[in-house]
Amino acid sequence: MIRILHRWPGLALATLLFTTALSGAILSFYPAADTVLAPQAANGMTVAELATQVQKAHPGVEQIQRSSSGQISAWWFDGSQPGSAIIDPMTGHHLDTTNPDPLRRWLTTFHRSLFLDDSGRLIVAAGALTMLILTFSGSILIVRRTGGWRRWFSRLRGPLAGRLHVELARVTAPGLLLCALTALWMSAETFNIVTIEPLQPPLAYEASGKTGLALDKIDVLRNTPVTVLRELSFPDPDHPEDTFIIKTDQGMGYVDQGTGTMLAWSDLNTWQKISETIYMLHTGQGSAITGIVLGLVALGGPVLVITGYAVWLTGTGSRPRLKDNASAAQATTIVLVGSESGTTWGFAATLANALRDVGQSVHVAPANTFTPTRYRKVQRFFILTATYGEGGAPSSARVLLEKLQAMKTPPVAPLAVLGFGDRSFPHFCAFAAAVERAARAAGWRSLLPFETIDRQSSQAFTRWGRALGNALHAELNLAYQPVLPATTPLTLLTRRDYGEAIHVPMTILRFALPKTSFWQRVTGEGFARFEAGDLLGILPVGNTIPRLYSLASGTEDGFIEIVVRQHPGGLSSGQLTRLSPGQTVRAFLRSNPAFHVQHDSSPLILIGAGTGLGPLAGFIRRNDRRRAIYLFFGLRSPDSDFLYHTELSIWQSEGYLTQLFTAASRSDYPQYVQDILLREGPLIAQSIEQGGRIMICGGRDMAQGVAEALENILSPIGITPEILKAGGRYVEDIY
């Protein structure tokens, strides 16, 4: 419900929110400009002194006004000719016309009413209400994603557009909430929903009938500083009953023009003060700093609209069109999908097509639509779901868990649950596992054991399909073909070869950084922004399935670098290891924020073997802060496959790398990386107690051995790898 409340109002009123936020942002900078440009009264200058100067320059002065920015304006009659101007308070002479800047007037009218008078004001009020709803719902979604209010500013993961949307939202949310609330209040005043009586002094007063008292003899004018003045209206000297009218930040009063006596005074009441404060908070008038802050916050509005639309478009664009989708009531197979970015829909469509090929009638739908009473002819259920954030439900399955837990009687047809995720994340397929537990707790029969798909593996999906085919006594071919991202040609600059002597050829490949467009540099798309630990997708010639390699470099390095091992019969690795400088490959970038170095000063323990050294070397290369980094590297032969040997020596001498530990499996004293971990256990335990983080890259067998070694090392201090994973302090990039 919260996600719907956030998505659809934002999409429906995206243009209105964009334009009003942008115009409001521009208007918010005017108060600061006025304060800087307006001639200011001298410190301690009184209203009597100001009025005297203006009256000398313009004897027929009728009114003096001071804006919240300190700008002084005056209106007068010169004979029968009216005049007005911005005034230099020190001399009383006019400086500029009081006519407002045309652009400012245009922006103000557009921002308030869209040039549609009251109808436009109602539309703008609807936009403010929408912004209020979006801010509240967005805040709840941020809390869900980060795991609580206390983790509001915790590190984010996921696609760039989504991260940018959330990063900006959690910075600007308080300001946008303030803008929305104050706009609604002002709209309520405009349409008399909230009635604030204008400031008026009591009408019961009696003038002395005298005239002509000099301005510098009137006590209230001599005792009132210009800094609190709002308006001073002069009396007609030919009418003794007429009075001075003075308005200040405190209230309004009538002053006898012949005696200087205050005849009547009225203080601002509480509601008037609230109304003025709200006006100041919304416009910045009266507080230049507030105006600047509001302007910066409001500038976030258009960006939020763009990134929000991009997030929605990414999700819907990656969702395939479902052909021959049977109705829920007539289908024999129900496939329910939980997806955030849309990728899981591709797997669901592949499953549905394969089931149709063996004669099944299939209905594919968002998991949120699960309603057992709708499925009259169902024989089997499938739930294919990803996990959102820290173990939460993706958008199309946000209420699924609640529906499962509320079931009194489970469906008769059996169920198979398949989870999708990235094993390097601490909460890998956590939501899918929760769905499986809830279904079994409700007594729902199992069609297949619970399974997971790591990093959209088409091979794992095919294996699961074979198991499903056996259960259904049918031959299923789940040949999932992902939608390929746009690729960019990369030109090889240099290559360095290792491992030939031990028949395990490996190569460090360095590619030129491709040119990026202005828009890519702004948005960080393509190769405009990346870090060591991100993934380089290579599309081999003659194949549509990309291979992913961990990057050993970042944008700041000025090149793209990966480490590749040639696998027997490997299509992508074979093509890459045969590349010569000057030749090109087709590639794309995939962000992998779960395997980025956090920018703090805590110790970093890097553990890798073979080509897994690549991203770890990239981390060390950018250790400009000289934090403590301990590298544990497993290789076969120091004489043959010691990757980055020269660089590691230089980095250690220059303080980028604190200490290097190596384990060679083909040496006089064979060792594996877990052996040297156990040997250096006290150092590792001490680093973890100091807030250190463990990052592992390499094969699964190595990672399993490392996990067992670290379990032994950390147990005496009451810490486990699972505890560190839950806190984001134990991350893996394994293959």
- CATH number of the domain to which 723 belongs: 3.40.50.80
Those residues with Cβ within 8 angstroms of residue 183's Cβ, 6 or more apart along the chain or in another chain: 124, 125, 128, 131, 282
Q: Helix (H, G, I), strand (E, B), or coil: what is residue 321?
A: coil
Same domain, 588 and 611: no
> Structural domain tally of the chain?
5
Same domain, 586 and 649: no
pLDDT of residue 523: 58
pLDDT of residue 8: 65
Q: Helix (H, G, I), strand (E, B), or coil: what is residue 492?
A: strand
The neighbour count for residue 449, using CB atoms within 10 Å, is 9
Same domain, 252 and 300: no
Those residues with Cβ within 8 angstroms of residue 301's Cβ, 6 or more apart along the chain or in another chain: 17, 18, 20, 21, 22, 24, 25, 131, 172, 176
Strands 229-233 and 535-539: unpaired
Same domain, 580 and 601: no
DSSP code per residue over 632-671: EEEES-TTT--TTHHHHHHHHHTTS-SEEEEEESSSSS--
Q: Which of 416, 446, 472 is the last residue of a domain?
A: 472
Encode 46-110 in three state secondary structure. Answer: EHHHHHHHHHHHCCCEEEEEECCCCCEEEEEEECCEEEEEEECCCCCCEEECCCCCHHHHHHHHH
Q: Which of 312, 347, 376 is the last residue of a domain?
A: 312
For residues 140 and 7, what is the distance between their CA atoms, to the nearest angstrom?
13
Expressed in angstroms, the distance from the first to the final Cα of the chain is 38
Residue 204, domain member (yes or no): yes
Same domain, 694 and 638: yes
Same domain, 549 and 454: no
For residues 579 and 497, what is the distance between their CA atoms, to the nearest angstrom?
11
- CATH number of the domain to which 497 belongs: 2.40.30.10
DSSP code per residue over 414-457: -EEEEEEE-TTSTTTTHHHHHHHHHHHHTTPPBSS--EEEETT-
Residue 274, domain member (yes or no): no
Burial grade of 117 (CB within 10 A; 0-12, 13-18, 19 or more): exposed
Q: Helix (H, G, I), strand (E, B), or coil: what is residue 579?
A: coil
Block means of pLDDT (10 residues each) for the chain, length 735 residues? 65 80 85 81 92 93 91 90 91 82 88 89 89 86 69 66 80 88 90 81 79 93 94 93 93 94 91 88 80 82 79 58 84 93 86 94 91 93 86 82 90 96 79 95 95 89 94 89 80 95 93 84 74 92 84 95 92 93 93 83 95 96 95 93 95 97 90 94 95 92 92 94 87 85
Residue 412, domain member (yes or no): yes
pLDDT of residue 417: 97
Residue 356, domain member (yes or no): yes
Answer yes or no: are the C-beta atoms of 190 and 208 closer than 8 Å. Answer: no
Please give the backbone phi and psi of residue 254, each rounded to the nearest 5 degrees, phi first. Answer: -110, 130
Same domain, 520 and 588: yes
How long a stretch of residues is the chain? 735
Range of the domain at 222: 45-89+200-267
Same domain, 402 and 523: no
Answer yes or no: are the C-beta atoms of 164 and 307 closer than 8 Å. Answer: yes
Answer yes or no: are the C-beta atoms of 306 and 525 closer than 8 Å. Answer: no
For residues 213 and 606, what is the distance between their CA atoms, to the nearest angstrom?
86
Residue 446, domain member (yes or no): yes
For residues 456 and 421, what is the distance between their CA atoms, to the nearest angstrom?
7
Same domain, 85 and 113: no
Q: To which H or E segment does residue 617 belong? A: helix 613-621
CA distances from 334 to 24, 151, 355, 472 (A): 49, 38, 11, 15
Instruction: Count the alpha carbons within 13 Å of 396 in the hemisphere toward its beta carbon.
Output: 23
Q: Which of 472, 499, 516 is the last residue of a domain?
A: 472
Same domain, 225 and 81: yes
Please give the backbone phi and psi of residue 250, each rounded to the nearest 5 degrees, phi first. Answer: -95, -25
Same domain, 547 and 666: no
Residue 483, domain member (yes or no): no
CA distances from 71 to 25, 75, 85, 86, 233 (A): 22, 14, 11, 7, 17
Q: Taking the complete model, does pTM exceed 0.85, yes or no?
A: no
pLDDT of residue 465: 94
Answer yes or no: are the C-beta atoms of 52 and 216 closer than 8 Å. Answer: yes
Residue 650, domain member (yes or no): yes
- CATH number of the domain to which 357 belongs: 3.40.50.360
Residue 479, domain member (yes or no): no
Same domain, 364 and 446: yes
The neighbour count for residue 720, using CB atoms within 10 Å, is 14
